[in-house]
DNA sequence: AGTATTAATGAGTCAGTTTCATTATCGTCA
DNA sequence: TGACGATAATGAAACTGACTCATTAATACT
């Protein structure tokens, strides 16, 4: 606390603001988030926030940038601990789905913001770096002969991110946790539609995966029941 | 112009506001859209808008409701002119993709709003009706034996809407028009991953399917329980 | 025409973001 | 150490834009 240089203090304060802002944004959504509340939680005056971020929008961008960066780091780490090829793909899928379920509010805001300021290349960079984790994994599957090279990567990418994002959104509306099934299903789709030896029969989503998924869902339902029973 | 009843005039004015609002929202995005501008374009005073829609949010809802309804009508009409089964699926896909490309701004706002007010059943109804067009077409494909019945509809739905929405968004960022490719690709995915004659190991899934159904039923029961417990 | 009911107006309120003149803190050097 | 310039923080006030409401206009009804 004592021996910190001015620069360190400033960095620390910027971090405090970002953390406070993230909380406030997630709790209230962008529109309902109050700059005054962000300042209060960061323990500074309202005007001070504007020394660090030039507007509410810029603040959200900064929060999202950090979020994407964390996501990228986590994904790279998780993926590299797996054997190359399809297992890595499944691992990334699982990771992405988990993050989506956990932080869907932030991601919705990202889409909202994307709408506002797409075109600014700087703002999209963090997202692009995250997306490239998938690109790498997918290309490696192709290189290993596990997936067909007949399709451009962007198609698989749209399928991958699009399906999961939409699932996460509807899951939330329906109030059910079914990420395991989503992952199993999407993995099946990748394996059947993009399989390298296209002459063979597609393999169906296997029984164990689905049993897994069903039990996850049941567990979730029961857990909700228990939780609500305590009030 | 002369012989109109009061009711007709009011309806007309409501329509004017909705059209003006839609334009303003699409041109500026939700945050940058000004109620004053909507009023100006509709040729009325600012306060008058609030006689028809109780808030800016309500106005956006109304715009989206009309949008979904138009979409639904168009989709039903287009689909019914096709031969049942996969051709209808392809037709709906094409239709949805075209609408997405054209009106992606509105759809982004829909996601934003969904975020704000999800939970209100009334607001989601128009969207739900549109989605059910897909459900019907997909179930018919299953009934005709063109697609497998191994999978719940919601999985196919997430794949369908998720992929296309994401594609439309990225297409716009990249500034390329490739909807035809997206449709062809997604259709291929449906045909290979959901093909009915996955005759290799369908029986082994039977038990899991039934477990699935049990879980669905349980889930419903528990949810009812939770709902009633809150009153 | 007279009156009641419904519709429209737009100046004003209010909540929330952003600015900026002022004040405090820090690092440096005599 | 103390004085000085540079950097950081403050919070009251300006600004912006959604929303209200007392007042006025239009319409229907007798």
pLDDT in tens, B137-182: 999 999 999 999 999 999 999 999 999 999 998 898 888 899 999 9
* Nucleotides of strand D under 7 angstroms from a protein beta carbon: 7-13, 17-22, 27-28
B29 CB neighbours in chain A (<8 A) are 115-116
Measured CA to CA in angstroms, residue A48 lies from A33, A35, A42, A44, A45 at distances of 17, 11, 10, 7, 5
**Contacts with B201 (C-beta within 8 Å, 6 or more apart), sequence order:** A204, A207
Q: Is the dihedral of CA A14, A19, A24, A29 positive or negative?
A: positive
CA–CA separation, B18 and B6 (whole Å): 19
A55 touches strand C (CB under 7 A): yes
Q: pLDDT tens-digit profile of B24-82? A: 999 998 989 999 999 999 999 999 999 999 999 999 999 999 999 999 999 999 999 99
Tokens of B86: 């996969």
A224 contacts chain B (CB < 8 A): yes
Please list the pLDDT of chain A residue by residue as tens digits (231 residues): 344 677 788 889 999 999 999 999 999 999 899 999 999 999 999 999 999 999 999 999 999 999 999 999 999 999 999 999 999 999 999 999 999 999 988 888 887 776 655 656 777 889 999 999 999 999 999 999 999 999 999 999 999 999 999 999 889 888 889 999 999 999 999 999 999 875 444 444 455 555 555 666 666 666 666 666 655
Contact A168, A183 (CB under 8 A): no
Rounded to the nearest 5 degrees, what angle is found at the Cα of A62, between the Cα atoms of A22 and A30? 50
Beta bridge partners of B147: B195
Contact (CB<8Å) B166/A162: yes
Tokens of A45: 């005056």
Q: Is the pTM of this model over 0.95?
A: no
- The burial of B19, by beta-carbon neighbours within 10 Å (0-12 exposed, 13-18 middle, 19 or more buried), is given as middle
The position carrying tokens 């982004």 is: B108
CA–CA separation, B135 and B153 (whole Å): 7
DSSP-derived secondary structure letter, B195 = B
The enclosing H or E element of B117 equals helix B86-117
CB atoms within 10 A of CB A155: 22
CB atoms within 10 A of CB A33: 20
Rg of chain A (C-alpha set):
21
A121 contacts chain B (CB < 8 A): no
Distance of CA B17 to the CA centre of its chain: 23
As annotated, the residues of chain B forming the CATH 1.10.357.10 domain(s) are: 56-229
B9 touches strand C (CB under 7 A): yes
A46 touches strand C (CB under 7 A): yes
Contact A71, A50 (CB under 8 A): no
Tokens of B127: 């969207």
A55 contacts chain B (CB < 8 A): no
> What residues of chain A, 9 to 48, have a C-beta less than 8 Å from chain B?
29, 31
As annotated, the residues of chain A forming the CATH 1.10.10.60 domain(s) are: 1-54
Tokens of A11: 């960095």
Contact (CB<8Å) A202/B208: no
A56 touches strand C (CB under 7 A): yes
Search chain A and give the residue with CA nearest B164: A162
Domain A56-229: which CATH number of 3.40.309.10, 3.30.470.20, 3.30.450.40, 1.10.357.10:
1.10.357.10
Contact (CB<8Å) A210/B205: yes
Q: What is the CATH number of domain B1-54?
A: 1.10.10.60
DSSP-derived secondary structure letter, B124 = H
A166 CB neighbours in chain B (<8 A) are 158, 161-162, 165-166
A69 touches strand C (CB under 7 A): no
């Amino acid at each position: 606390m004592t021996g910190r240089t001015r620069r360190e203090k400033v960095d620390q304060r910027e971090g405090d603001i970002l953390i406070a802002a993230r909380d406030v944004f997630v709790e209230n959504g962008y529109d309902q988030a109050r700059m005054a509340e962000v300042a209060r939680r960061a323990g500074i005056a309202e005007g001070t926030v504007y020394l660090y971020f030039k507007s509410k929008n810029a603040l959200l961008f900064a929060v999202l940038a950090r979020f994407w960066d964390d996501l990228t780091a986590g994904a790279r780490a998780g993926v590299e601990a797996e054997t190359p090829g399809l297992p890595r793909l499944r691992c990334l899928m699982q990771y992405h789905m988990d993050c989506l379920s956990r932080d869907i509010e932030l991601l919705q805001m990202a889409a909202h913001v994307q709408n506002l300021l797409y075109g600014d290349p700087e703002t999209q960079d963090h997202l692009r770096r995250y997306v490239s984790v998938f690109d790498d994994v997918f290309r490696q599957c192709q290189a290993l002969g596990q997936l067909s090279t007949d399709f451009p990567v962007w198609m698989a990418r749209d399928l991958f991110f699009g399906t999961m994002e939409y699932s996460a959104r509807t899951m939330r509306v329906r109030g059910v946790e079914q990420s395991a099934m989503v992952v199993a299903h999407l993995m099946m789709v990748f394996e059947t539609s993009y399989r390298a030896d296209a002459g063979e029969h597609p393999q169906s989503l296997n029984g164990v995966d689905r049993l897994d998924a069903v039990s996850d869902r049941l567990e979730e339902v029961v857990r909700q029941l228990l939780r609500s029973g305590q009030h």
